[in-house]
Amino acid sequence: MSEETQVKKKRKIVLDERLLAYKGVWVFIEHERGQVHPVSWELLGEGRKLADMLGVELAGVVLAAPGEEAKRFCEEAYQYGADLCYLMQSEVLADYRNDPFTQGLTELVNAYQPEILLLGATTQGRDLAGSVATTLQTGLTADCTGLTIDPDNRSLLSTRPTFGGSLLCTIVTLNYRPQMATVRPRVMAMPEKVPGRVGRIVEHPLAMAEDDIVTKVLEFIADDSRDKPQLPFADIIVAGGRGLGKPENFQLVRDLAEALGAEVGASRPVVQAGWVELDRQVGQSGKTVRPKLYIAAGISGAIQHRVGMEGADCIIAINNDPNAPIFDFAHYGIVGDAMTILPALTEAFRQKLATLKQAG
Amino acid sequence: MHSVVCIKQVPDSAQIRVHPVTNTIMRQGVPAIINPYDLFALEEALRLKDRFGGKVTVITMGPPQAEVALRKALSFGADDAILVTDKSFAGADTLATSYALAATIRQIAKESPVDMVFTGKQTIDGDTAQVGPGIAKRMDLQLLTYVSRIVSVDQDKREIVVERRAEGGVQVLKTSLPCLITMLEGSNQMRFGTMPDMFRAARYEMKFWDKTAAGIEDVTKIGLKGSPTVVNKVFTPSPRSEKAEMIAVEGGSPADVAVALLAKMAARFPLVEKELAKRA
């Protein structure tokens, strides 16, 4: 998706003899309360591409309490593209806790030596990735929006926004392995599940007992998800930005969203200004979304916003500045005053839905 | 209760602009602020001091001008401030940064044992959330990330119970001191500094620690040398292969434009059409 405009002299990466043994791409399979986080499957889809470029195997890594559930996670991982799974089962891994998971994943890396290790940039993945990278003394790149392989030297090229989301940068790991990266949910596309695809399990024990672990989980209070916006998985999103002028005007965005049965999104400036709640922020420091339709009103399209929504199938942008960067990557653009265009769109969509209803 | 709060001075990202021609960051005139996420960490440490006594030491690693951020933290009520600054720190990634900060906190603990280390959940310029976990691992502290609430602290038993934001819910965790907490945003509200604290902050004799003062022994672990990752290139994203199709109707009203848009979209995006049909 990117074209470089500034290039530093390419750095030569020479690996120590002992690091040449590191082979294969791993994805940490994150789960909570019996559910695998979808970001893990998205990463297997991306990991598959990297593994094929490198000509190596793709592995899922499952740390869990002993039982059928853990095996089920592995079987699902094969269907999403893993060739094998490293499975570590222990009672101390029943709930996510930093210490046993850090030790477990670190032991696996040291034993089986992958060249790339990917984790979801979730609260669990970031907690674990930062700890494992420090323990292993290796490089970690957070919140990547693009991953590929440098054909010259097999290194992982991780692209991420920088300077608060005003520019993109590509980061490489020098003479250290594995190369670690986290990716936020919904940034990568969900791969097709291939039913019946199988793989093999490599089991490895965890040398840790409950008495060795200081931190205890007293309770898990599940979120009441009914009253929370579900932006990342919404199919239609109507979002507003600073170009709307004042908080009262944001109601026009809500009206269109209501007509469409869509979720309401917002850019960072208006969330920071307190017009809209934090849960609705789309972008690098908010949610990443992949709807079928994304309507952006009064949003200029800074990189920090763009990386959170450019995975949408169809983007409509309304902005009074014909040079707004959002017109560089939207599918449709309307130059004009969102105050008059939003109500017109609301009405047009209402009529459209009524026509579709009649057509059955 | 002695808390060390790690803060970072960052450019106010809302005001960063990219030069339209050269695609470089225009830093001039962009105000520097305390990383907003760090204020939740500082406030939580100040609350512990309110309840249990003790003190709050605030530290930052950065250039000499980061002194401003530390004085600001002092004006909110922090007791001590240390600016860890050395040319050899330049180019540090998160691994090298956590090494230098962990060394600094160990030096601080030699004078006055540290019970808690606080950081923000991440910075607004780097957005990595890696330095907090890094410090905890290097110091062998219990790590509690994304803490939304400190439920209780038992000073005699040296135990703490917190609520931690997890995926799909909140984990209630109990652990032992010393520990490192990264505080979630919105978990508290920073107090206003008092007049006496503001005067004290202005007069405070700032402590500047170079790498020796910070107790750093292994110089291969700091700065560019101690950083496994490097930035290969910085760039702006390219437009899609085709720019947006602009919808305009000559002499038409907004309603005409809206109808024209929907007609075009129906022809080109059957996927969206199907989604709309579901909602009809």
Residue A166: which CATH number?
3.40.50.620
State whether A194 and A68 are in the same domain.
yes
Banded pLDDT at A229 (limits 50, 70, 90): confident
Do A80 and A153 share a domain, yes or no?
yes
Q: Do A190 and A257 lie in a common domain? A: no
What is the pairing mode between strands B142-154 and B55-61? unpaired
Total residues found in chain B within this entry? 280
Structural domain that includes position A167: 17-212
pLDDT tens for each residue of B25-46: 666 778 899 999 999 999 999 9
The domain that holds A231 is classified in CATH as 3.40.50.1220
> For the segment B137-174, what is each residue's pLDDT rounded down to a tens digit?
999 999 999 999 999 999 999 999 999 999 889 999 99
B 164-203: CB under 8 A from A = 164-176, 185-186
Check whether residue A62 and residue A185 sit in a common domain: yes
Output the six-digit token pair for A205: 């024990």
- List of residues 6+ apart from A121 with CB closer than 8 A: A39, A129, A142, A143, A182, A183, A184, A185
List CB contacts (< 8 A) between A226 and chain B: none
State the Cα–Cα distance between residues B104 and B101, nearest whole angstrom. 5
> Which residues in chain B are contacts of A343 at CB distance < 8 A?
254
pLDDT-derived band at B64 (thresholds 50, 70, 90) equals: very high
Which of chain A's residues have a Cβ under 8 Å away from the Cβ of B17? 166
User: pLDDT tens, A51-84?
Assistant: 999 999 999 999 999 999 999 999 999 999 999 9
Give the position of tokens 């950081």. Answer: B119
Instruction: Name the residue in chain A with its Cα closest to that of B256.
Output: A344
- Measured between CA atoms, the residue of chain A closest to residue B23 is A5
Asked whether residue B5 carries a pLDDT value surpassing 70, the answer given is yes
Q: What is the pLDDT of residues A294-308, one digit of tens each?
A: 999 999 999 889 999
- Average pLDDT (B257-273) is 93
Top-ranked range on mean pLDDT: pick from A18-27, A224-233, B10-19: A18-27
| Mutation site, A32, A37, A145, A163, interface B, largest B CB count within 10 A | A163
Distance CA A337, CA B111 (A): 62
Chain B, 114 to 143: residues with Cβ < 8 Å from chain A are 124-134, 136-138, 142-143
Q: How far apart (Å, rounded) are the C-alpha atoms in residues B16 and A191?
A: 36
Residue with tokens 């910075």: B123
Contact call for A142 and B93, based on CB within 8 A: no
Residue A185 identity: P
Q: Are residues A173 and A264 in the same domain?
A: no
Residue A217 has pLDDT above 70, yes or no: yes
- Tell me: pLDDT of A1 over 90: no
Rounded to whole angstroms, the Cα distance separating A95 from A180 reads 23
Residue A228: CB atoms within 10 A of its CB come to: 9
> What is residue B117's three-state secondary structure?
strand
In this predicted structure, what is the pLDDT of residue B172? 98
pLDDT in tens, A127-175: 999 999 999 999 999 999 999 999 999 999 999 988 777 788 999 999 9
- The answer to whether the Cβ–Cβ distance between B228 and A138 falls below 8 Å is yes
pLDDT for the residue B31: 87
Band (B11; pLDDT cuts 50, 70, 90): confident
Distance (Å) from the alpha carbon of A23 to chain B's nearest alpha carbon: 18
**A166 to chain B: closest CA residue:** B18
Tell me: pLDDT of B98 over 70. yes
pLDDT surpasses 80 at A105? yes
- Asked whether residue A261 carries a pLDDT value surpassing 90, the answer given is yes
Q: Convert the pLDDT of each residue in A268-283 to its tens digit.
A: 999 989 999 988 999 9
Q: Which residue does chain B place closest to A183, by CA atoms?
A: B128
Q: Is A5 exposed, middle or buried (0-12, 13-18, 19+ CB in 10 A)?
A: middle
**Domain endpoint, select from A156, A185, A212:** A212
Is B192's pLDDT higher than 80? yes
Topology adopted by domain B2-221: Rossmann fold (3.40.50)
Instruction: Give the pLDDT confidence score for residue B251 in this predicted structure.
Output: 83
Query: How far apart (Å, rounded) are the C-alpha atoms in residues A87 and A45?
Result: 20
CB neighbour list of residue A97: distance below 8 Å, 6 or more residues apart: A213, A215, A217, B173
User: Is the residue at A219 inside a domain?
Assistant: no
How many CA atoms are closer than 13 Å to the CA of A216, on its beta-carbon side?
8
Tokens of A253: 């965005």
Tokens found for residue A189:
């596309």
Poorest-pLDDT segment among A45-49, A251-255, B13-17, B111-115: B13-17
Final residue in a domain of this structure, among A212, A236, A253: A212
Q: Let me know whether A236 and A136 are in one domain.
A: no
Q: Do B166 and A32 touch (CB under 8 A)?
A: yes
pLDDT above 50: residue A341: yes
pLDDT greater than 80 at residue B238: no
Query: Residue A88, class by beta-carbon neighbours within 10 Å (0-12 exposed, 13-18 middle, 19+ buried)?
Result: buried
- State pLDDT tens for residues A313-331: 999 999 999 999 999 999 9
Tell me if A222 is assigned to some domain.
no
pLDDT bin (cut points 50, 70, 90) of residue B229 is very high
Domain limit, last residue, from A146, A178, A212: A212
Q: What values do phi and psi take at B173, rounded to 5?
A: -120, 140
pLDDT for residue A6 is more than 60: no
Domain count, chain A: 2
The residue of chain B nearest to residue A340, with distances taken between CA atoms, is B254
Q: What one-character DSSP code corresponds to residue B241?
A: S
Same domain for A85 and A175? yes
The pLDDT score that the predictor gives to residue A5 is 40
Mean pLDDT computed over A320-349: 95
Cβ–Cβ contact B2 with A under 8 A: no
Confidence (pLDDT) at A213: 97
Chain A residues whose CB is inside 8 A of the B21 CB are none
Task: Parse chain B into domains and list their residue ranges.
Answer: 2-221, 239-280
How far is residue B172's CA from residue A338's CA, in Å, rounded to a whole number?
45
Q: Which of A217, A24, A37 is nearest to A119 (CA)?
A: A37
